[in-house]
Amino acid sequence: MSLLSHTRRSQITKTILWVAFALFVLSLFLPAASNEQVYRLDRVCQNPQWDHGLAFLLVGPFGVLFGQFGWFANPLMLLAAITRREFGLVFATLAILATTSTTRTLTHFWRDGEPDDVVCGFGPGYYAWAACSVLVLIAVLVKPPQRTSSETAIADS
């Protein structure tokens, strides 16, 4: 028996998912990663340029060509939010792995015919996006299990 009713758990889940969605939209407009053409080995940016999350969302699928799979957290978060709880746990966990892998795989920006820009750091846009995947996992954990037709009939009577 659960401490929270089925209806209350559904309300909490929806609230958490709306907060995650708001953070996702916010992450698109916040600086996500800084970069600069750096020739030093210490990767210290003297005058970094910041790219916003929207740029990463638009070009993200092409990151596969450079071994960067973080963009795939976006559809995984969506799948986690709309599928059954059992599948949602798998998708949400994979989304968290994809978001955290970004910090290890995104080390430079390829520039056609110019030296690559080195990634200096991650900004609030990245952290808002990463928080989305954690919130989606929490929402899936709170989500009530899907009722069978007999359970629904008993609850409605």
Q: Which of 35, 25, 80 is nearest to 57 (CA)?
A: 25
The pLDDT assigned to 23 comes to: 97
Please, what are the averages of pLDDT over each run of 10 residues along the chain (157 residues)? 78 95 96 74 70 88 82 95 94 95 76 68 93 96 76 53
The pLDDT assigned to 1 comes to: 45
The pLDDT assigned to 27 comes to: 95
Supply 9's token pair: 């758990």
Query: Checking DSSP bridges between strand 31-36 and strand 117-122, what pairing results, if any?
Result: antiparallel
Sign of the CA dihedral with 50 first, then 24, 140, and 74 last: negative
Model confidence, pTM: 0.81
The pLDDT assigned to 97 comes to: 94
Cα–chain center distance at 50? 19
The pLDDT assigned to 74 comes to: 95
Q: How many residues does the chain have?
A: 157
